[in-house]
Amino acid sequence: MTTLDNERRLALLTPPTGKVRVVLDTDTYNEIDDQFAVVQMMLSRDRFDVEAIYAAPFLNARADSPGQGMEMSYDEIHRLLERIDVAADGLVYRGVTEYVGFEKKPREAAAVDHMIERARAGTPEDPLYIIAIGAISNVASALLKAPDIIDRVVVIWLGGNALDWPRSFKKNAEFNLKQDIGGAQVLFDCGVPVVLVPAMGVTSHLISNVPEIEKEVEPYGAIGAFLAQRFKEYSTDHFGWSKEIWDMAAVAWLLEPEWTPSIIVPTPILTDTIGWETDSSRHAMRYVRYVDRDAILRDFFSKLRQFAETK
């Protein structure tokens, strides 16, 4: 099994410069934030060499099973790409239909095999950055199936709440984490370099509202109208209402690290009951402490406007 010493892990966890190889793992139909993250990534081609977008599973009121959630996300990715004139063939892959679970069983999917292939095409000096903004099942399956890739990938995952988030308040049952606790345990325990982007207490600051979306997003092309529709239909009561666009923060860490200040901390132990436990002897990860909401959205609004004006 591939192992990383502290020096090599810290080198991989250093924010990269120049253009980077990325894949995006996304439960795109689960909410409204993945859609914004997909578009911001795809409109940032000067920074990203996008090698794939993977549909991740999810289960909630919108989907009867994780597999159905994955299929709905797969279809939503196509709707987004169509509106920004990007061909989906050879870029979009179906993910797993079951969670890794506590048995730590890798699941089979085209996304898993493609992720392994792209990871093995890299090196520790030119790693594949896996931006994961859904349940971690595709990524955990790849890590279980091909543990040799851990020295040539960096996983940026939006999952869980802040490490010091009070368990008495909404606990740690953040959606991405609670979907596949076993998969998340694989991520934290296997030694792969991880950049953790928490939800409550960090990216909960990354919000917008209907007046802002109507002014800065809706007028700008078919994709702007589509994103505005998704944003507004999420709630039927817009009075005094704002909405987190959580997943943009994971893309933002690679776009400009100053927008998501982070520190090096020991990787937490994730308990079966979704608790964080600390052990200072564990391997290091990078931990995002704050998001610059204004900088992230200014970047998105500017790129969306520029895209619409050049069409």
Look at the alpha carbons of 70, 76, 78, 84 in this order and tell me if their dihedral is positive or negative. Answer: negative
Whether the pTM exceeds 0.95: the reply is: yes
The pLDDT value given to residue 167: 64
Distance CA 45, CA 19 (A): 8
Query: What residue spans of the chain are helical by DSSP H?
Result: 6-13, 33-42, 66-83, 110-120, 137-145, 175-179, 181-189, 210-216, 221-233, 248-255, 293-310
* Residue pLDDT, tens place only, 99-117: 999 999 999 999 999 999 9
Distance CA 12, CA 14 (A): 5
Amino acid letter at 172? N
- 234 and 32 in contact (C-beta within 8 Å)? yes
Greatest CA separation for the chain: 54
- 61 and 76 in contact (C-beta within 8 Å)? no
In this structure, what token pair is assigned to residue 85?
């004139």
Which helix (H) or strand (E) element contains residue 19? none
In order along the chain (311 residues), what is the average pLDDT of each group of 10 residues?
85 97 98 97 98 98 97 98 97 98 97 98 96 98 98 97 74 87 98 97 96 98 98 96 97 98 97 91 97 98 97 80
